[in-house]
Amino acid sequence: MGYDTRGFFGVNWKALHRDDLQKAPTRTLSMTRLGEGLLEVADPPVKALFIYASNPIASVPHQTKIRRGLARPDLFTVVVEHFRTDTVDYADIVLPTTMQLEHADVQISYGHLYISWNEPAVAAPGECLPTTEIFRRLGRRLGLDVPCLYDSDEELARQLLDSDHPSLRGITFDILRKQGWMRLAVPEPFVPFAEDFPTPSGKLEFYTARMSDAGLDPLAGYTPPYEAAQRGTPLAARYPLALIAGADHYFLNSVFANVPAQTRRSGLPTIRVHPDDAAARQLDSGGEARVFNDRGAFVALVEVSLRVRPGVVASTKGRWPGRSKDNANVNATVDERDSDMGGGAVFHDNRVEVERV
């Protein structure tokens, strides 16, 4: 997250989130535990699922469990998409949506200090609609009598930029739309923590009471992973290899994984294995292997390599399962547990075994 600059953009998120419209507490389910939400939550059970800007079959842990959940005959699933993804295969209704060149948007950045206006370059084809318009039409069909739900994209953009934060000084919707992009009103060069840090003490806090308030160790340290660090346990004996699945150089998570040029550059799904582990399993470079645990399995080409250490195997994330030989990717083996900090997914805390196909 060293390149994440979103925190420097002082836009008016509250104007878009509108938490004030929530009159009563609502149940919250975790996307990274979608299989649990669809199969185990029962009071009441999930009966409808609306998916947009996501391809959970490819990108969410415990893939086999999610498939079982999405296959429920009593689940009504709507998917908003550009392409026929693996998730679309489970949809009752598919709503076509616009791409970046076809709709208006304000864009903050992930890695620099410029805010930009995305002016539509071409008309949307067919019945494709921006996601914002899809929600406006859904609101009307539901009879929701809340005027702000029907604000236009321009109105939403103006609300987002209506902020007294110093970073947006001089940045208005009209100027941004005319110029196309503007740098945040921060010094150049920008050294954000030269004077202090955004903490109660104003210092970089190695020890912080806020961690204690969250039920975590207030002193920064190392917490071993739950699965990968196990030694001498039944789990480690059954699945002796720790699987790490980093980003693919040619995909962005699961985006672009259906583009022929990118899939050619990326090559076939591959599992890198240390020579010692390969020899013990009679694995050779160029051969196929099955990577598995109790949660699921996927097939990949073997690359015997010193780039991984003994006891560790490595692959990449983001592939569409339906474009693989066995209709699965690495997330078939990943658990849907929560991380101890932030409640994120545990994509890299994963024990497996590898066998020759």
Compute mean pLDDT per 10 residues along the chain, 357 residues long, and list them. Answer: 80 94 90 97 96 97 97 98 97 97 94 95 97 97 96 97 96 97 94 87 91 89 92 97 96 95 96 98 98 97 98 97 94 94 91 97
Check residue 146 and give its pLDDT.
95
Tell me how far CA of residue 46 lies from CA of 34, 43, 74, in angstroms: 10, 9, 9
Contact 292, 353 (CB under 8 A): yes
Sign of CA dihedral 13, 16, 21, 26: negative
Nearest to 345 by CA among 280, 283, 273, 253: 253
Contacts 24+ apart (CB under 8 A), 223-227: 223/340, 225/346, 225/348, 225/349, 226/337, 226/346, 226/349, 227/335, 227/346, 227/349, 227/350, 227/351
Alpha carbons 319 and 266: distance in angstroms, whole number: 10
Check residue 95 and give its pLDDT.
98
Alpha carbons 357 and 40: distance in angstroms, whole number: 34
Check residue 1 and give its pLDDT.
44
Scored b (16 or more CB within 10 A) or e, 298-318 reads: bbbbbbbbeebeeebbbbbbb
Quote the DSSP letter at residue 300: E
Check residue 348 and give its pLDDT.
92
Contact 182, 114 (CB under 8 A): yes
**143 burial class (0-12, 13-18, 19+ CB within 10 angstroms)?**
exposed
Residues 6+ apart with CB under 8 A from 308: 272, 273, 274, 314
Contact 295, 62 (CB under 8 A): yes
Check residue 25 and give its pLDDT.
87
Alpha carbons 273 and 308: distance in angstroms, whole number: 7
* Strands annotated E in the chain: 48-52, 76-81, 93-96, 105-107, 114-118, 181-183, 241-246, 270-273, 288-292, 297-304, 312-316, 351-356
Contacts 24+ apart (CB under 8 A), 227-230: 227/335, 227/346, 227/349, 227/350, 227/351, 228/348, 228/349, 228/350, 228/351, 230/351
Tell me how far CA of residue 276 lies from CA of 231, 273, 289, 306, in angstroms: 18, 8, 16, 10
Contact 101, 71 (CB under 8 A): no
Check residue 23 and give its pLDDT.
85
Check residue 41 and give its pLDDT.
96
Name the helix (H) or strand (E) containing 235: helix 234-238
| Structural domains of the chain ordered from first start | 6-183 (3.40.50.740), 234-356 (2.40.40.20)
**332 burial class (0-12, 13-18, 19+ CB within 10 angstroms)?**
buried
Check residue 270 and give its pLDDT.
97
Contact 93, 105 (CB under 8 A): no
Check residue 2 and give its pLDDT.
59
Q: What is the CA radius of gyration of the chain?
A: 23
CA dihedral 257, 263, 268, 271 (to 10 degrees): -50
